[in-house]
């Protein structure tokens, strides 16, 4: 793997509470199930969450800022889970630059097939720093005007940084959408200006499994939808299923 460099995939939402971390963790676990080596980096500075979702909170000794500051060696900060490796987010207030993220990525990019960067809500300095290393931004939005507006802002910043974007519409409910109480798929695409990668149906069981650090059900509708997303991102022609 000496000449191979990991693909860097950023998950962002602009707004919190849309299920971004649930989807990023599901994505990483599914890639691992396919035999890929995956590193997840929790970029939610001061509000670390992925260690809970991956059920490894008691194993966190260092965070990725310790690598940036050269406090520990690269392997010491890596946390082994039943799926991807994890770099935990720093919990204190820190200032993160694009150079910091580039240094961090250089440390690990030849050890993994994928590096999944789970961004905090919003489009602040951390988001800007992560955009400096990302190759693909997966923009997560629920089908409502508030989330769509913030997703459009995030997509615009990704475009300005030269990062390719794809849209994930999460928590889609046909009965609500067809009843006119939520935006339909075309409206979300038009409002964000981002090419669709997939529609993820409302899946309460998946959300609860992630929040409690439990194993995900491979047959759940949310997991199946994310499997189709991965296939599309790999170039397959997979019909949309809602």
The answer to whether residue 175 sits within a structural domain is: no
pLDDT at 3 over 90: no
The answer to whether residue 14 sits within a structural domain is: yes
* pLDDT tens sequence across 201-234: 999 989 888 888 887 898 999 999 999 999 999 9
* pLDDT tens sequence across 97-107: 999 999 999 99
User: What is the per-residue pLDDT for 180?
Assistant: 82
pLDDT band, residue 242 (cuts 50/70/90): confident
DSSP 154-214: HHHHHHHTT-EEEEEEEEE-HHHHHTTSS--HHHHHHHHT--EEEEEE--HHHHHHHHTTP
Total count of domains within the chain: 1
Report which of residues 45 and 102 the model is more confident about.
102
The answer to whether residue 102 sits within a structural domain is: yes
The answer to whether residue 126 sits within a structural domain is: yes
Residue-range definition of the domain harbouring residue 99: 10-134+206-233
As a whole number, mean pLDDT of residues 174-198 equals 92
The pTM assigned to this predicted structure is 0.95
Q: Report the CATH number at residue 43.
A: 3.40.50.300
As a whole number, mean pLDDT of residues 156-167 equals 97
The answer to whether residue 47 sits within a structural domain is: yes
The answer to whether residue 201 sits within a structural domain is: no
The answer to whether residue 28 sits within a structural domain is: yes
Torsion 93-96-100-105 (CA) sign: positive
The answer to whether residue 161 sits within a structural domain is: no
Q: Cα separation of 41 and 68, whole Å? A: 13
């Amino acid at each position: 793997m000496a000449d191979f460099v990991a693909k860097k995939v950023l998950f962002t939402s602009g707004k919190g509470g849309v299920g971004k971390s649930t989807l990023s963790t599901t994505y990483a676990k599914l890639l691992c199930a396919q035999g890929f080596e995956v590193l997840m980096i929790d970029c939610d500075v001061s509000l670390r969450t992925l260690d809970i979702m991956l059920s490894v909170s008691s194993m966190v000794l260092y965070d990725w800022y310790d690598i940036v500051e050269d406090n520990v060696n690269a392997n010491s900060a890596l946390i082994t889970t039943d799926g991807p490796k994890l770099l935990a987010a720093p919990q204190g207030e820190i200032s993160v630059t694009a150079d910091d993220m580039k240094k961090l990525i250089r440390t690990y990019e030849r050890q993994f097939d994928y590096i999944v960067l789970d961004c905090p809500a919003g489009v602040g300095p951390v988001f800007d720093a992560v955009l400096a290393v990302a190759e693909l931004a997966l923009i997560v939005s629920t089908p409502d005007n508030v989330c769509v507006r913030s997703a459009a802002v995030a997509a615009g910043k990704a475009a300005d940084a030269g990062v390719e974007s794809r849209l994930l519409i999460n928590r889609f409910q046909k009965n609500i959408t067809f009843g006119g109480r939520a935006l339909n798929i075309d409206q979300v695409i038009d409002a964000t200006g981002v090419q669709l990668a997939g529609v993820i149906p409302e899946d309460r069981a998946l959300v609860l499994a992630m929040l409690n650090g439990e194993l995900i059900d491979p047959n759940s509708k949310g997991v199946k939808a994310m499997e189709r997303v991965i296939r599309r991102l790999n170039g397959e022609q997979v019909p949309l299923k809602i």
